């Protein structure tokens, strides 16, 4: 069968995999090919055991894979055949040299651009999906157009706004799709090609176009604003713990103001995930680069409140449990950075686990999807750490349970059974405010929510 377009995606991660699966599922007239430098990851995408857990992903992969969706290791052949190449390789925070700990490491992006340049035999549209600091597209265009005669590359910015755990719903019905392009004739033509791909299932008024720099910056700013809301409510949560106020009541009232809105106002043990911290630090780095010190400090505050919130959580545990955790057994309910994903990048649970073993506590980690990642992440931590998926077995014999992830499962457990199997006095620290605190207190637990009065029996 002849396909209307050949689409390639380089990078089969949390963004590349689901995004391409959705394009293939919605557009059977295009052939979508996904490649990655890790052959084992491609094998997993071709198996029944996908490399990432995402509700609804299995179903759409089953419908499209082998029909017009393919996962492959041959990057060079993929580049040659493609009309449009999405680049979705990771852009972690730099760990070396200028901007270490702050700026984005663009080596994978640049390496990918050079590989495209080396292999391409015809003109192509290159779409940056990875979150990149502003002006990267311009740099990429310079690299790409430094080569062969007659082969032209048009670079577009198309940042992905999906959130993990809801990726399929976000892709199917996005708030907006953003496409940034050069404002030249060829830039606008390339932009329209990409608009037409999304128009197969996204309403025209949800597809926003802009200049390329606005597009790149908008992604950083959207993540910074989301994270800022969480740090704002978390800063209020500590004030609530010192007073009689209840952070959920405050958030409810504040969120009812239609100018503010109710979402992303859940106080927590801290935000995690691969994007928020990385993108804010990027924004901070950009501000400092342009000499905007106060603006940089302002955004950096969002990250430092988040670090503080995690530290505060551990100190609350320490104080509540009679100022020593040494030899005590603490069970973490959840290790993923949020519910409905197995992803643990930047998860607050890792920081908490690290601090607990530093206090010589024994740590038992439980999670329905993230235990493999948890085992990897905690390898460097020197201490007594166990991994037990079943929450009842995990909590057995523990002095405390700390809820790290808002998995639905943890709302509905038989906490009487858990209480009876624990060391007394039994403590619960609810880092997500998801359990019924009054009920647990009546069962005998000493209960420590976030941003609400504690309930203790002594």
Is residue 431 a contact residue for ligand UDX (CB under 6 A)? no
The single residue among 26, 65, 94, 129 that binds ligand UDX, judged by CB under 6 A, is 129
Phi-psi sector, 334: left (phi>0), alpha (psi -120 to 50), beta: left
The two three-digit tokens of residue 147, written as one number: 């080569």
Shortest Å distance, C-beta 30 to ligand UDX: 21
From 10-18, 146-154, 179-187, 390-398, span contacting ligand UDX (CB under 6 A): 10-18
As beta bridge partners, residue 447 has: 428, 455
Q: Is the peptide bond before 425 cis (omega within 30 degrees of 0)?
A: yes
Nearer to ligand UDX by Cβ, of 44 and 446: the residue is: 44
Among 363, 359, 371, residue whose Cα is nearest residue 395:
363
Q: Per rule CB under 6 A, is residue 108 in the interface with ligand UDX?
A: yes
Write the binding mask 241 to 280 for ligand UDX: x where contact by CB under 6 A, - elsewhere: -----------------------xxx-x--xxxxxx----
Q: Does 369 bind ligand UDX (CB under 6 A)?
A: no
CB of 218 to ligand UDX, least distance (A): 11
Tokens found for residue 368: 């329905």
Among 3, 53, 161, 419, binds ligand UDX (CB under 6 A): 161
If one asks whether residue 91 binds ligand UDX (CB under 6 A), the answer comes out as yes
Residue among 269 and 361 whose Cβ is closer to ligand UDX: 269
E strand map for 235-340: 329-333
Is 75 in contact with 12 (CB distance < 8 Å)? no
Smallest gap from Cβ 197 to ligand UDX, in A, equals 18
Nearer to ligand UDX, 276 or 448 (CB): 276
For residues 157 and 86, give the distance between their C-alpha atoms in angstroms, rounded to a whole number.
10
Q: Contacting ligand UDX (CB under 6 A), which of 7, 8, 9, 12? A: 12
Residue nearest to ligand UDX (CB): 13
Q: Are 312 and 379 in contact (CB under 8 A)?
A: no
> For ligand UDX, how many residues bind (rule: CB under 6 A)?
41
Active-site residue, 27 included: no
Among 6-14, 240-248, 327-335, 366-374, the segment contacting ligand UDX (CB under 6 A): 6-14
Angle of helix 136-144 relative to helix 212-242, nearest 10 degrees?
150
Please give the C-alpha separations between residue 305 and each of 10, 47, 356, in angstroms, as whole numbers.
35, 41, 20
Cβ-contact 266, 233 below 8 angstroms: yes
**Which is the catalytic residue, given 27, 275, 331, 398?**
275
Task: Enumerate the H helices of 51-119 as residue ranges.
Answer: 57-64, 75-81, 107-119
Residue number, 119 or 443, with CB nearest to ligand UDX: 119
Q: What share of the chain is helix, strand, coil (3-state, %, to 5)?
A: 45, 15, 40
Q: Catalogue the active-site residues.
A: 275
Q: Report the interface residues with ligand UDX, using CB under 6 A.
A: 10-16, 36-38, 41, 88-91, 108, 111-112, 129-131, 160-164, 223, 226, 230, 264-266, 268, 271-276, 337-338
């Amino acid at each position: 069968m002849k396909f209307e377009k050949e689409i390639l995606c380089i990078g089969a991660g949390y963004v590349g995999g689901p995004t391409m699966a959705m394009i293939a599922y919605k557009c059977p007239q295009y052939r979508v090919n996904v490649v990655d430098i890790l052959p084992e990851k491609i094998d997993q995408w071709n198996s029944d055991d996908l490399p990432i857990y995402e509700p609804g992903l299995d179903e759409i992969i089953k419908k499209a894979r082998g029909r017009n969706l393919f996962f492959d290791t041959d990057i060079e052949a993929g580049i040659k055949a493609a009309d449009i190449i999405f680049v979705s390789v990771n852009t972690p925070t730099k760990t070396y040299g200028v901007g270490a700990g702050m700026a984005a490491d663009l080596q994978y992006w640049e390496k990918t651009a050079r590989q495209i340049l080396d292999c391409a035999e015809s003109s192509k549209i290159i779409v940056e999906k990875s979150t990149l600091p502003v002006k990267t597209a311009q740099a990429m265009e310079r690299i790409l157009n430094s080569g062969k005669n007659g082969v032209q590359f048009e670079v577009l910015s198309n940042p992905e706004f999906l959130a993990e755990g809801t990726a399929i719903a976000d892709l199917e019905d996005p708030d907006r799709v953003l496409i940034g392009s050069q404002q030249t004739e060829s830039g606008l033509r390339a932009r329209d090609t990409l608009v037409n791909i999304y128009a197969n299932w996204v309403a025209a008024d949800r597809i926003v176009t802009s200049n390329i720099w606005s597009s790149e910056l908008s992604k950083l700013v959207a993540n910074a604003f989301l994270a800022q809301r969480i740090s704002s409510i978390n800063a209020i949560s500590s004030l609530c713990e010192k007073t009689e106020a209840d952070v959920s009541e405050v958030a409810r009232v504040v969120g009812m103001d239609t100018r503010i809105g109710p979402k992303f106002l859940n106080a927590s043990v801290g935000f995690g995930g691969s994007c928020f911290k990385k993108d804010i630090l990027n924004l901070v780095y950009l501000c400092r680069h342009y000499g905007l010190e106060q603006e940089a400090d302002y955004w950096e505050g969002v990250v430092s409140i988040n670090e503080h919130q995690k530290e505060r959580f551990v100190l609350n545990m320490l104080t509540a449990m009679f100022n020593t955790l040494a030899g005590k057994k603490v069970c973490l309910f959840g290790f993923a950075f949020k519910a409905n994903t197995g992803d643990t990048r930047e998860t607050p649970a890792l920081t908490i686990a690290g601090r607990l073993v530093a206090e010589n506590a024994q740590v038992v980690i439980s999670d329905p999807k993230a235990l493999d990642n948890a085992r990897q992440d905690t390898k460097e931590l020197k201490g007594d750490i166990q991994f037990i998926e079943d929450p009842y077995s995990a909590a057995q014999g523990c002095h405390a349970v700390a809820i790290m992830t808002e998995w639905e499962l943890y709302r509905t457990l038989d906490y009487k059974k858990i209480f009876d199997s624990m060391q007394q006095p039994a403590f619960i620290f609810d880092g997500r405010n998801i359990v019924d605190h009054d009920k647990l207190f009546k069962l005998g637990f000493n209960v420590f929510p976030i941003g609400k009065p504690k309930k203790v029996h002594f």
